[in-house]
Structure 1
Amino acid sequence: MSGIRIGQRPQNNRQRYVKLLWTSIWLAYLGAPVSDLLHGGHGTVARALGWIGLVAFVAWYLALVFRTGRGERNGVVLASLAVLATESTVLAFSLGREWLVLFVYVGISSGAALPLRLSRWTVPAVSALLTGVAFVVPGGSDYLTGLLFPALLGGFSMTGVRELIRTTVELREARATVAQLAANEERLRLARDLHDLLGHSLSLITLKSELAGRMLPDHPDRAAQQVADIEQVSRQALVDVREAVTGYRRRRLPAELAGAKVALAAAGVTADLPDEPDLSGVPEESEAALAWALREAVTNVVRHSGARRCTVDLARRQTLDGAVIELSVEDDGSGGPGGSPGNGLTGLSERLEKAGGSLEAGGARHGFRLVARAPAGAPTADVGSRA
């Protein structure tokens, strides 16, 4: 866009011209000094020096206003304001009361070019200097009322504009930061979901494909059943991925228990699972987090453990932090590949923390054990009995 945005300095010639135009409009108040030079009856030398002084003042003022916000040291700005104030004083003493209007421009540039902590002192100082000079210059006190309030109000108004610009820039930067964080969070969510979805589904497809390959020569009917299961799992995986991308999917524990039973059976692992769990009063976020925990745990049992038996327990417990629902998955395998936690367990831990729960995973006496906890309703008996 070619327009000047608030809080940004001009970036091209068009924006510079626009800013120069708006700044020049306020130079119309210099009509009194110009009229004094043309019709004030000054001598040739005084008139020439007056024009030189006025042009120098305007040039210095415009340079100071155009440099606002470019990171100059406050000392440089204060020195520039001192030059403008000195020029205004000399011209007022030399040429008369019409030149007192220059102090209004000094006050405005003070508010525009200095931070609040300094301008709150410099603007009153310029106004005090205007008052002192006005009482010394002949007839200056008649102009004082008409100039003192514009100097004060104009200076502090520019201070407010400067603070508004700074706040606007900070808000714009904060909005960009929030948008970046939201995008990162969405990417993280999508990465977790796809890892959990595809890891489980592809493991099950691989197992059933191997079974179908072994059954095909001697048991084509059973192989065909495995192929049909593969098709069903693939279709469901596609649906889950689409829902993960749109962000509307929420896992359910009963569905994950049924899927875990199928996956463990396909891998030749004896499953001991709860039957028809009672999840009344359990927050949806807690149920979804535990469903993901079950999926990740069963996927690891199938892919890494080499276990022959897997036990899943689901119970409500009362802790010092309140009621929780606890999911434990234990197998009698080798305990997995070892080393640091993989992406699955890391993402699962993040899910549970976001739901207000926790995750424990590590070697057990006869294999590997994962325990996931999430907030629940009022404590009752065990939520499910093992089949």
Structure 2
Amino acid sequence: MATRTSRGILVAALLCYLGITVLNILSEQLDPFRLAIGVGCLVLVFLLQLVHSAPGTTEAPMRRKVLTLTAQGVLSYLPLIWFGVSWGAMAGFFAGSLLLLLPPRAGWTLYGLTTLSLLVPGILDGRSVVDLVYMCQTTALTGLVVFGLSRMAGLVAQLHRARADLARLAVTKEQLRFSRDLHDLLGYSLSAITLKNELIHRLIPANPLRARREVDEVLLISRQALADVRRVASGYREMSLGSELASAESVLAAAEVSVTVDTDEAVADLALTTSTVLATVLREGVTNLLRHSKASYCRISARIEDDVVRLTIVNDGLVLGRQDPSPHSGSGLGNLERRLQDIGGRLLVRRSPDGSDVDVFRLTAEAPLLEAAVGDLLDGRKPDDEQPYGQADSAA
């Protein structure tokens, strides 16, 4: 509606100026032939002005601008021979078009010259000084009105397009958030359920009681996964690092990985945002361990040092060069890096080669102790063999 309204105001103003010129011509008591020529020229000037005032015309090739401006200039000055000063308002249209289509310096210079050019027919017609000033002022005003209304219509159209682009960007951002949260949450839950079911399958013949306990844990993980999906869909997701540490220990034990967990007591009191992000890092780290390694041990530590929370996951069994063959293998570490950057943290990876085909892998996530991003806490020098995730080997 705003775009149509601004365009309608522009067209109405142009028609009003044309109407004034038509009344001036009619007052000259012209013969039908000259009157028809005048009306035809007015129609052509009106159409050219609509072209010049259209949104996007400023991006047109310079050659096209010169051609249309030349045509409008001819139609603005040539009829002065037949109609005299009665045609003078059309020079205002031409002045406005110069401002619209030409660079500022050239446009304003020619605008001024166009305004002063109306002195010539006025002097030749023997007009008084007052009439000459009136003619120049009217031309200048008409040019400014045409320029201002045309720019307004163009800016309204740009604003309308920008709002549409922002709406599409918001939708895309929400889709990325949804897919990222699903990847980070369900990847861990489904991996845990798969491992537990494999363990249950082995335990049923030999240890039914243990198998039953594992079934209870599978049900608990399944319910949690369902709750996670519902919270992601509603845009609300909170996680506790302490709870995820206990869950990770249980899942790794089910996968027959020797796990050691070392945490500070203060970790349980982390700010909600920091706790959620680090819990997500832990989930993805454990998921990657289960999917991309043949680990026999895993050490997990969550420590607070110098107002920085540092979560470290170390495991062996990373097979060099191993890649997930699935085309939907995801971008878990990339998601984690963006999450940590959003709160002023960083993600570090380190590989410690031992000369064999199996490597030791270290994943470290650092986040400010406070919920707000504290960039100066993250400027410390990292070890020579550590580097941000984006520069590390993608085999992880």
Which residue of the other structure, out of 179, 183, 191, is the alignment partner of 1:191?
179
Check if 1:128 corresponds to 2:128: no
**Inter-CA distance 225–26: structure 2 relative to 1 (3 Å threshold):** same
C-alpha displacement at 1:164, in angstroms?
Answer: 2.3
**Residue-by-residue CA offset, 1:86-114 (whole Å, 9 max, x unaligned):** 2243124xxxxxx4132212212431463
Q: 1:120-199 to 2 correspondence within 5 Å?
A: 120-139=108-127, 141=129, 143-199=131-187
> Structure 1 length as normaliser, TM-score?
0.79
Quick one: distance in 2 between partners of 1:21 and 1:181? Answer: 36
User: Which residue in 2 is equivalent to 1:26?
Assistant: 17
User: Which residue in 1 is equivalent to 2:365?
Assistant: 372
Q: State the AA in 1 paired with 2:218.
A: I
Quick one: distance in 1 between partners of 2:75 and 2:130? Answer: 23
Quick one: distance in 2 between partners of 1:249 and 1:280? Answer: 18
Name the stretch that deviates more: 330-339 or 99-108.
330-339
User: Which residue in 2 is equivalent to 1:35?
Assistant: 27
1:111 aligns to what SS in structure 2? helix
Quick one: distance in 1 between partners of 2:321 and 2:233? Answer: 30
C-alpha displacement at 1:311, in angstroms?
Answer: 0.9
> Structure 2 length as normaliser, TM-score?
0.77
Check if 1:87 corresponds to 2:78: yes
**Inter-CA distance 112–79: structure 2 relative to 1 (3 Å threshold):** closer
1:90 aligns to what SS in structure 2? helix
> Given that residues 267 and 302 in structure 2 are in contact (C-alpha distance below 8 angstroms), is that contact kept between their aligned partners in structure 1?
no
C-alpha displacement at 1:168, in angstroms?
Answer: 2.8
Q: Which runs of 5+ in 1 are unaligned?
A: 8-14, 39-46, 93-98, 380-387
Q: 1:185-224 to 2 correspondence within 5 Å?
A: 185-224=173-212
**Inter-CA distance 19–173: structure 2 relative to 1 (3 Å threshold):** closer
**Inter-CA distance 254–129: structure 2 relative to 1 (3 Å threshold):** same
> Given that residues 192 and 347 in structure 1 are in contact (C-alpha distance below 8 angstroms), is that contact kept between their aligned partners in structure 2?
yes
Name the stretch that deviates more: 126-135 or 198-207.
126-135
> Given that residues 10 and 149 in structure 2 are in contact (C-alpha distance below 8 angstroms), is that contact kept between their aligned partners in structure 1?
no
**Inter-CA distance 357–56: structure 2 relative to 1 (3 Å threshold):** same
User: Which residue in 1 is equivalent to 2:295?
Assistant: 307
**Residue-by-residue CA offset, 1:270-293 (whole Å, 9 max, x unaligned):** 221135631488554333222111
Check if 1:330 corresponds to 2:314: yes
Which residue of the other structure, out of 63, 68, 74, is the alignment partner of 2:47?
63
> Given that residues 312 and 365 in structure 2 are in contact (C-alpha distance below 8 angstroms), is that contact kept between their aligned partners in structure 1?
yes
Check if 1:74 corresponds to 2:68: no
User: Which residue in 1 is equivalent to 2:383?
Assistant: none
**Inter-CA distance 21–355: structure 2 relative to 1 (3 Å threshold):** closer
Name the stretch that deviates more: 196-205 or 54-63.
54-63
Check if 1:269 corresponds to 2:260: no
1:313 aligns to what SS in structure 2? strand
User: Which residue in 1 is equivalent to 2:345?
Assistant: 357
Quick one: distance in 2 between partners of 1:74 and 1:228? Answer: 76
User: Which residue in 2 is equivalent to 1:111?
Assistant: 96
CA RMSD, 1 decimal = 3.2
1:268 aligns to what SS in structure 2? coil
Check if 1:238 corresponds to 2:226: yes
Quick one: distance in 2 between partners of 1:250 and 1:336? Answer: 35
Quick one: distance in 2 between partners of 1:275 and 1:81? Answer: 79
> Given that residues 359 and 372 in structure 1 are in contact (C-alpha distance below 8 angstroms), is that contact kept between their aligned partners in structure 2?
yes
Quick one: distance in 1 between partners of 2:291 and 2:341? Answer: 25
2:152 aligns to what SS in structure 1? helix
Q: State the AA in 1 paired with 2:87.
A: L
> Given that residues 84 and 106 in structure 1 are in contact (C-alpha distance below 8 angstroms), is that contact kept between their aligned partners in structure 2?
no
Provide the aligned length of Structure 1 versus Structure 2.
Answer: 352
C-alpha displacement at 1:49, in angstroms?
Answer: 5.2
C-alpha displacement at 1:214, in angstroms?
Answer: 2.2
User: Which residue in 1 is equivalent to 2:244?
Assistant: 256
